[in-house]
Structure 1
Amino acid sequence: MHLIEQKPLIARYRLKARGFLNSISNRREFEGALIQIDGGYGCIHPWPELGDPTLDKCLADLAGERRWPIVRRAVRCAEFDRTARGFENSLFEEMEVPKSHATLAKGDVAEIALAVEAGFTTIKLKAGRDLTREAAFLKDMAVEYPALKWRLDFNEALEPEQATDFLTGLGDKVRGAIDFVEDPCPYSESAWKELWKRTRVRLAVDHEAAPLSSAAQVMVIKPAIDEPFLLGEAAIAHSQRVVMTSYMDHPVGQAFAAWEAARLELQFPGLVGLCGLQTHHLFEPDEFSEALGPWSPDFKIPDGLGLGFDDLLDAQPWTRLY
């Protein structure tokens, strides 16, 4: 990608989480930056815990060679957004965004009840902090809500034997309610094939999602860092299901993930299943998250051109000083 003559505009933001968001992060506040390039908008929201560069390194890359995938994808988002705004269109025109599971940072009875009341049929839990407590919680919930399906995300926190012991210890009834387990341990073709053989629980690859990740039954694609078309083609070749998710980032990034999910399903009908695009409830509310409406399996398309949020984006303190 060519070097730019003038820095893009940015507007820094800080999101405050309502709780710890995964098993490998103890942060409750998350910094990111909205970007503006020739009237198009994107979002850079790095997770250094997951291998991303820091925000300052991302911004230096944005102003320079743009080598990092998270930076290139934010620029790509801004390009799509700018084109739609230039034609005075919403990017979501004639697009159907897939429904979502409920993403919860921990097992909480009250949160499960709220999710069921909101219409969710599948719950994604961030797991790996306390396996004993999490196993007991799943067993209780399988009795309380027998129709619910579960997705467990360990962010590679376990070793293969730990993952095997955890899943086999749940019993047949609970295992039968698990839709898939995401990144139970670091990806290894041999280890994952053995884990699938011993537990018969579908495995979803996220952190190491790549065209050669054939030992997984599910491919998780995050448009904030991944090229959906490339991974979608690979998923078809490996007979994998595809789940598109946000990066637990700013609502602008969430909207980009939703649009990419709709676009991939349009390109490959039937490939994209129930997604994970509703994550704004994990953070304290602000004007952007309120534009996405209440927590629901259905994604509310924000009003405006491109990805939406027109007035809110106009009001940001844009600067080239970084």
Structure 2
Amino acid sequence: MILPTHQKPLVARYRMRSRGFLNAISRRREFEGALIRVGDGFGCIHPWPELGDPSLEKCLEDLQGPQRYPIVRRALRCAEYDQVARQASESLFEEMEVPRSHATLTSSDAANVNQAVDAGFDMIKLKAGHDLEKEADFLELMSQEYPQLKWRIDFNESADAEAVRKFLLGLPEKVRRAIDFLEDPCPYSDEVWKNLNRQTRVNLAVDRESAPQSKSAQVMVIKPAVDEPYLLGEAALQNSQRAILTSYMDHPLGQAFAAWEAARLELQLPGLVGVCGLQTHHLFEPDEASEQLGAWKPEFTIPDGTGLGFDDYLDALPWTRLY
């Protein structure tokens, strides 16, 4: 995307602090990103170097140059959509219905599960892979206490196929049936994943290798921060897969973009999108932006304002040029 001179990006850096560790392969609590402003539109760049993204500095260099990184191109696409709606004084969410979300939990904590149930969630996504034995015991205990809950377990490729097989087959049959899917249990391989699904009868979801050729997964996880949802949605249909869209555990503006893309994909490909993962602001210390997303609950709170919302907040930020 070649930008005209009068629409060169402005940047407002931000820092978010998480309430705890966010996945099995990251031990950070501080997260830096940048909101971008292109003309009247806004986007978000929130890289995860642990998951293979370039650093924030490399992303900002790329923003000024070739724009070869998907995370940069998607932020610019977000700003493009956002600008159209803001110039029309409309919300991007008008006449859109955002799918419900699961509750994302980053640790095996019974108090957090209870809080999620009280908030109305019936699907829990648990970040796992730290201690498989402890996590198996936790799942069994929670399944007894909350038999109505379904579980999504995200390993972030932190285990190998044999360890995952033992983990799943070591669970009581009733607990295994309560697992909606296991996400990125190990590095993707057609044969390995096909065998793992056949042996355990547990659905597997592909995220980090989310691509049209990932045919041995039963679920495709789409992250609008780095993925083009419609292209992957079409591939999911062809592969008879379910699709869920999730935030990038990024700035609330990025969450809003993911929510809008989830609503849009459901309009484009009706029936494809299931319960999503669009509620992650509770994982971070609250701030002015996250407060506009409201309480943690399955239903997404649409921010007030034009475009993706946050009008007054965005206008007040200290925008700077990159050069």
* TM-score range relative to shorter protein: over 0.9
**1:39 corresponds to:** 40
Cα distance in structure 1, aligned partners of 2:122 and 2:235: 28
Identity fraction in percent: 70
- Contact 2:9 / 2:322 at 8 angstroms: preserved in 1? no
- One-letter amino acid of the structure 1 residue matched with residue 113 of structure 2: I
Summarize deviations over 1:116-161 as a string: whole Å, max 9, x none.
Answer: 0000000000000111110110010010001100000000001111
- Contact 2:74 / 2:227 at 8 angstroms: preserved in 1? yes
- Contact 1:180 / 1:204 at 8 angstroms: preserved in 2? yes
Q: How does 1:141-290 map to 2 (within 5 A)?
A: 141-290=142-291
Summarize deviations over 1:19-75 as a string: whole Å, max 9, x none.
Answer: 000000000010000000001000000000000000000000001110000000000
**1:72 corresponds to:** 73
**1:18 corresponds to:** 19
Cα distance in structure 1, aligned partners of 2:230 and 2:48: 23
Cα distance in structure 2, aligned partners of 1:41 and 1:194: 44
Aligned-pair Cα RMSD in Å = 0.9
Cα distance in structure 2, aligned partners of 1:163 and 1:317: 47
Cα distance in structure 2, aligned partners of 1:170 and 1:57: 43
**1:127 corresponds to:** 128
TM-score by length of 2: 0.98
Structure 1 unaligned segments of length 5 or more: list them: none
Summarize deviations over 1:168-221 as a string: whole Å, max 9, x none.
Answer: 111211101000000000000000000001000000000000011100000000
- Contact 1:12 / 1:34 at 8 angstroms: preserved in 2? yes
Cα drift, residue 4 of structure 1: 5.3
Cα drift, residue 300 of structure 1: 0.3
- One-letter amino acid of the structure 1 residue matched with residue 146 of structure 2: Y
- One-letter amino acid of the structure 2 residue matched with residue 128 of structure 1: G
Cα distance in structure 2, aligned partners of 1:94 and 1:276: 21
Cα drift, residue 3 of structure 1: 5.9
- One-letter amino acid of the structure 1 residue matched with residue 97 of structure 2: E
Cα drift, residue 107 of structure 1: 1.1
Is residue 2:284 matched to residue 1:298?
A: no
- One-letter amino acid of the structure 2 residue matched with residue 2 of structure 1: I
Cα drift, residue 5 of structure 1: 3.6
Cα distance in structure 1, aligned partners of 2:104 and 2:230: 24
- May I ask how many residue pairs the two structures share in their alignment? 322
Cα distance in structure 2, aligned partners of 1:2 and 1:245: 28
Q: How does 1:53-68 map to 2 (within 5 A)?
A: 53-68=54-69
Cα distance in structure 2, aligned partners of 1:263 and 1:235: 16
Counterpart of 1:30 in 2: which secondary structure? strand
Counterpart of 1:287 in 2: which secondary structure? coil
**2:109 corresponds to:** 108
Summarize deviations over 1:231-283 as a string: whole Å, max 9, x none.
Answer: 00000000100010000000000000000000000001110000000000000
Cα distance in structure 1, aligned partners of 2:132 and 2:91: 44
Cα distance in structure 2, aligned partners of 1:3 and 1:95: 29
